[in-house]
Amino acid sequence: MSSNAGAILDYIRNYDLNDYSLGLAFATSQNPFAGSGNSLVAYPYLTSFSHSAFTEDWFLIRGENWGFRHITESDWEFGAIARLQTLGLGAASNDELLGLEERRWAVEAGPLIGWRRWPVHLQFRSYWEIPDRHDGTTTELEFSLPRQFRRGFFVPAVKFSYLDADYSDYYFGVAPQESSASRPEYRPGAVMNTWVGFTLGYELTPRWLLKTSVGLEFLDSAVTDSPIVDQDRPWSGSIGLAYNADLFQPRDYDSGYKFLASEIRFGAFSSNIETKVLRDAANGQPGDELDLEDFLGVADSETVIQFDALFRVAYYHRLELGYFELQRRSPTELERDIEFGDQAFLAGTAVETHSDSRLLRLGYSYSLMRDNQKELGVTAGLSYSRFEVALKADETQQAERVRIEAPLPTMGVFGSVALGTSWRLGADIQLFALDFDRYNGLISYLSLGLDRKFGDVFNAGIGYNFYGMRLKAKDEDLRGTLRIRYHGPKVFLSVNF
């Protein structure tokens, strides 16, 4: 068993980033919800000149799915994949959807099983939603007929998607508190949708690849009968252009830039802050929204000092520590009545708002690959998160606060790549899943950085941080959702040893 695991790791670590191309794509899709317009987004993407149906690469990029897989000698395919579910209400201001709670984007992940021996390839996929918004699952069975020609590929496919009751009720149902005279309560239950489409790749030159995909989905009648859905066959499409120029250094290239043993980093994070309390919708009417920055006058921009440390305990193993803290205070006079906690604060009352946020991260990281070209690994650990908002009115002798404090499990991925002899580009993504006492939800942390080496000891760089928290109350204390976002550019200095 250990020899097989070692062989798999060696196979992964021999991977070369120059096997892939970097491109820019445009995607558009029709929103099935009533009154919502079509979406159009542009995004960078990573792709290969060969479709995954014709390769045995362990790293899988196929449509919206990213993940890892193993191809057996008998052409069975086993893997784990993830995708971003972007189905949402779209234009929240349109009258037909007024009073509905937003259907949020989510990360979905699960297993993959495929069979590639026949001309028609089969692939079975199942997804669970990581943020735990609805406890639902979706399962897909896809039949494709991959065809490869001298300068590209063409892959038509048919996909059957089974959405269980929790999944379809969340996206297409109408909850009791969202119902109104013109929009009755509705639960579609489990449904089966059918999708047909194709992917086409054409090699314009040995370095340029044009790639496009088109799809049409036939929604189950239980979905189209929903009072919030007005499309029965939504379409989607994308087009992208990718360039393969061997952007990255070869794996065995001695660039002079070594991935460092241990590092202590001090940074200044210029944070743009959004803090909102969203009351639950009731009787078909939208819930009240309390914006701490706009309504209570709390500062919406602060400079936050951030500390991070990485300690190598072996070549592929490291320990991580991170901490930041933000405190804000502001006096203001209320322009309207508000309910906060168990108390009502009336318009015209002078109040002082205090907001305190702290995050401590402790983790163990294992590098799946580490060489002169790149490092990629996974992280697991614990975080301590604390958030407190307090309102105090001396004139009426009122005081109320909402406080969240708990140790939380941490999961994440990290990666970095050497660019030339002195530069490094890195990213760190971590998710904290919450389900305790009075709240459930998700906390996410994203850090991007580009740094330059100055001698053997010091590095300096710039980057961007995002920290988000969305918590929904389980009891009547908050009666809604707390949403916090810190994001903005950063500068940092690191000491290496």
Tell me the pLDDT of the chain averaged across its residues: 81
Length of the chain measured in residues:
497
- pTM for the structure as a whole: 0.65
- Cite the residue boundaries of each domain of the chain with CATH code 2.40.230: 15-243
Query: Among candidates 184, 248, 356, which has minimal Cα distance to 15?
Result: 248
CB atoms within 10 A of CB 48: 19
Q: Is the dihedral of CA 453, 454, 458, 459 positive or negative?
A: negative
Class of domain 15-243: mainly beta
Query: What is the mean pLDDT of the segment spanning 345-353?
Result: 80
Query: What is the mean pLDDT of the segment spanning 333-356?
Result: 77
In CATH, 263-496 is 2.40.128.90:
yes
Q: What would the pLDDT profile of 40-57 be if each residue is shown by its tens digit?
A: 888 777 787 888 888 888
Q: How confident is the model at residue 478 (pLDDT cuts 50, 70, 90)?
A: low
Contacts of 126 (CB under 8 A, 6+ apart): 110, 111, 137, 138, 139, 140
| Percent of all residues in the chain with a pLDDT value above 70, rounded to a whole number | 82
- Give the per-residue pLDDT at 233: 95
Q: How confident is the model at residue 257 (pLDDT cuts 50, 70, 90)?
A: very low
Q: What would the pLDDT profile of 281-334 be if each residue is shown by its tens digit?
A: 554 444 556 677 777 767 677 788 889 899 988 888 889 998 988 888 888 877
- Cite the residue boundaries of each domain of the chain with CATH code 2.40.128.90: 263-496
Contacts of 461 (CB under 8 A, 6+ apart): 424, 449, 450, 451, 452, 491, 492, 494
Q: Which residue has the tokens 């099983």?
A: 113
Q: Answer yes or no: is pLDDT of 172 > 60.
A: yes
Contacts of 93 (CB under 8 A, 6+ apart): none
Contacts of 389 (CB under 8 A, 6+ apart): 275, 277, 292, 353, 354, 355, 401, 402, 403
Query: Among candidates 156, 69, 157, which has minimal Cα distance to 111?
Result: 69
Query: What is the mean pLDDT of the segment spanning 359-377?
Result: 85
* Strands in 146-286 per DSSP E: 147-149, 152-163, 191-205, 208-218, 235-243, 263-279
Please say whether the beta carbons of 243 and 478 come within 8 A: no
